[in-house]
Amino acid sequence: MAVALTIVGDPREPATRRTLSVPPGTSILKAAHAGGVDITATCGGRGRCTACRVKFLAGAVPPPTVMDEVQLGPDLVREGYRLSCQCLLEEPVSVQVAPPLEERAFQILPDRPDGLARLGRVALDSGVAKQLVKVTLPREEHHQTSDLEQLCQALGVRPEDVGAGVLQALPQALRDDPAGVTVTTFGGRVLAVERGDTSPMKFGLAVDVGTTSVVTTLLELGSGERLGAVSSLNPQCVYGGDLMSRIAFAQFDPGNLRKLHTRIVGLLNQHVAEVCRESGVLAKWIYKVVVVGNTCMHHLLLGIDPSHVGLAPYAPVMRHPLVLPARELPLRVAPEARVCLLPLVAGFVGADAVAVTLATRLWESEAIRIAVDIGTNGEVILGSRDRLWACSAPAGPALEGAQIRHGMRGALGAIDRVTVDDDVRVHTIGEAEALGICGSGLIDLLAGLLDAGVIDWTGLIQVEGRAALPPRLGARVELRGEERVVVVCRPGEAGARAEIVLTQDDVRQVQLAKGAIASGVAMLQHVAGVPAAGVAELLLAGGFGNYVSIASALRIGLIPPLPAGRIRYVGNAASLGAQLCLLSEAERARAAEIATRIEHVSLAAHPDFERLFVDAMNFPRTT
């Protein structure tokens, strides 16, 4: 006995309505295809993407499968969306097919629920296209043609448009599979020719090369799905924690420049291997890579001498958006994959600032907003759709957990939340045994210690006043030789195997970091003439271990005293900006436009900066 399946293209258009008679137990996707209704199934109907989703308009909505929940998320599932490939028909239903490919929209899925979820939707248009092509090869000996010419004829392109890396394996690919070859193109260029039909396999990488941390994210280009991410310490750190020491190292010897270059390229190749292994994606199916980073990281990745980025007037060697084949770095993805480096603004305002501006939508904001990207070489951007200013905020690596006695990046076992009452109480990432403390934990800890009076407004640990503290808290404040410390975890507390302390020096490092950022914000407000009341919103971004607590960030004066409702944490916005450009060529074009719009404010050159910086080093006196 057949079941009635009604499929609607656009509910406002009755002409798009079709009713099919379907054997029970058939999937909606198969039934639609059998009935001549096109539903795109990017992953081939395996529940691995969201392309074939439908929305139930009438009839009982079946319970979601695991695939529905993983791919669509709780919101869409609740609204009656299901993957048509997973949904077997048992009774009459009416469903709406998801908008067709060219109108598909992409919602950036933040790592954190309070992250970028409120940002706009972006049309998926990575620029990477794959198509199955049958190439006819002549059989007679007198022909005067070549494999490449036959391919070009089938595709309608010129031999000059085919990357050299494609040629080496072309003859075998053309002869191996009677189904044909799958040709990948980007911007009119042929990037790959693979035997057989590999058209659903289309991936890209977004890479955020920070001074201290490097984050690589793997996305499926057809659906925007995030398949994995890996983050690690920038291995250039062994040659200097901040930009200036790394530039000095590069200047010292031409071989050093090569070392810095080789280290970062090596790490990116490790990242490729790791995300590929974890996701099951083959590296040769990665055809587009978007890289963001500050000017120095950008130059070192390209092997460009950064010496003059570190000397007044701090001139970058180049600023324009660069697209180069992966084999030139070399990055071990498809050899002809395009590596797109976003443009730079100035010596100390790089592609990461452009990516943050893009991801936070500052460029189209009606009201004036501020984006603060916390990092070793952080940036502050202030503005609206009318005008944009940016400055660098050289915070140093403290808030990324580096150069802190027991600091660490936000990985398993990092203390990411701290409360201070009559004692210090910690939470670790993954609730694993405490190994150290990451940026968000450090900010919480200092805020709590300030409120409890363990640290005063100048940052001094109050060893002398510890008797006045609650006994358990007071017992954590120690003078060891000449060093003032607060014991955060004793062995055994939070599963810690070894003691975790906060030293006086750690407090000074955080003061330097937050002073750099707060004075950068103050400076842009000063230059742009925008008082606190004129700031509609402050967006706090950065690769902290976990959500940074807005209250704690306000308490230590990392950000200016705005009402808490006008501040939100948006996660790693530089990486999200790179992901946007990976998924959308329109966004990548917008990044180029943003780079030309941003006005660079040089802090060091400004006469008022010194005063602002000294003020910003202290903690706010009010609790």
101 binds a copy of itself (CB under 8 A): no
Closest CA to 559 of 348, 358, 367, 374: 374
Question: By three-state DSSP, how is residue 496 classified?
Answer: coil
Q: For a copy of itself, which is the closer residue by CB, 3 or 344?
A: 344
How many Cβ atoms are within 10 Å of 476's Cβ, its own excluded?
21
Q: For a copy of itself, which is the closer residue by CB, 164 or 412?
A: 164
Distances (CA, A) of 579 to 108, 287, 326: 8, 14, 18
Q: Which stretch binds a copy of itself (CB under 8 A): 163-171, 279-287, 536-544, 560-568?
A: 163-171
CB of 328 to a copy of itself, least distance (A): 7
Q: Which of 171, 491, 492, 561 is in the footprint of a copy of itself by CB under 8 A? A: 171
Cα–Cα distance between 287 and 336 in angstroms, integer?
A: 7
CB of 304 to a copy of itself, least distance (A): 5
312 binds a copy of itself (CB under 8 A): yes
Q: Which of 160, 366, 386, 482 is in the footprint of a copy of itself by CB under 8 A? A: 160
Q: Which stretch binds a copy of itself (CB under 8 A): 60-68, 136-144, 205-213, 446-454?
A: 136-144
Q: For a copy of itself, which is the closer residue by CB, 291 or 414?
A: 291
330 binds a copy of itself (CB under 8 A): no
Residues between 344 and 403 that touch a copy of itself (CB under 8 A): 344-346
Residue bearing tokens 């939707």: 121
Radius of gyration of the chain from Cα atoms? 27
Cα–Cα distance between 491 and 212 in angstroms, integer?
A: 28
Closest CA to 392 of 260, 510, 243: 243
Q: Which stretch binds a copy of itself (CB under 8 A): 147-155, 242-250, 415-423, 478-486?
A: 147-155
Contact predicate 491/597, CB 8 Å: no
Q: Which of 328, 421, 431, 464 is in the footprint of a copy of itself by CB under 8 A? A: 328
Phi, psi of 383 (to 5 degrees): 155, -165
DSSP codes joined into one string, 152-179:
HHHHT--GGGB-HHHHTTHHHHHHH-TT
Q: Which stretch binds a copy of itself (CB under 8 A): 12-20, 161-169, 363-371, 556-564?
A: 161-169
CB of 158 to a copy of itself, least distance (A): 8
589 binds a copy of itself (CB under 8 A): no
Q: For a copy of itself, which is the closer residue by CB, 164 or 475?
A: 164
172 binds a copy of itself (CB under 8 A): yes
Q: For a copy of itself, which is the closer residue by CB, 19 or 172?
A: 172
Q: Which of 102, 141, 386, 482 is in the footprint of a copy of itself by CB under 8 A? A: 141
Q: Which stretch binds a copy of itself (CB under 8 A): 31-39, 116-124, 240-248, 594-602?
A: 594-602
- Residue 321 CA to its chain's centroid (Å): 18
Residue bearing tokens 């009635």: 4
Contact predicate 85/47, CB 8 Å: yes
Q: Which of 101, 164, 179, 564 is in the footprint of a copy of itself by CB under 8 A? A: 164
CB of 355 to a copy of itself, least distance (A): 18
Q: Which of 4, 37, 129, 167 is in the footprint of a copy of itself by CB under 8 A? A: 167
Cα–Cα distance between 527 and 382 in angstroms, integer?
A: 10
Cα–Cα distance between 412 and 432 in angstroms, integer?
A: 6
If DSSP states are collapsed to H, E and C, what string results for 441-491?
HHHHHHHHHHHHCCECCCCCECCCCHHHCCHHHHCCEEEECCEEEEEEECC
Cα–Cα distance between 18 and 508 in angstroms, integer?
A: 69
Which helix H or strand E contains 184, and what residues bound it?
Answer: strand 181-186
Can you give the binding site for a copy of itself, defined by CB under 8 A? 137-149, 159-160, 164, 167-172, 175, 302-305, 307-308, 312-320, 322, 324, 328, 344-346, 599-600, 602, 604-605
